[in-house]
Amino acid sequence: MYYVYIIYSEKLDKKYIGYSTDLKQRMSYHNSKRSPFTARGIPWKLIYYEAFLSEEDAKREELFLKSGKGRERIKFLLQNIPGEVA
């Protein structure tokens, strides 16, 4: 399985989009200061994820969510979560 996920840092009021094959391990990574992109925002909370059978489909969705139209979709889906997409 391949997961596209969105995590949120209340501290930074930011969202981060990524993809992984092991979502639990990836959350641990983001919250352990090992990732230079997310170290300052600890603690990160998982606010959304999608599961894919194909790595190619997951990568395509991750790129879409990072695009202008994807950001609009995130705002629509997650209307009660503050923050900007990182």
- The CATH architecture of the domain made up of 2-85 is 3-Layer(aba) Sandwich (3.40)
Best CA proximity match to 6, nearest among 44, 38, 48: 48
The owner of tokens 């639990």 is 24
Quick one: tokens of 51?
């599961």
Nearest 10 degrees: Cα torsion 23, 39, 32, 20: 20
Between CA 43 and CA 45 the distance in angstroms is 7
pLDDT tens over the chain, length 86 residues: 999 999 999 999 999 999 999 999 999 999 998 888 889 999 999 999 999 999 999 999 999 999 999 999 998 988 876 655 44
In contact, 6 and 51? CB cutoff 8 Å:
no
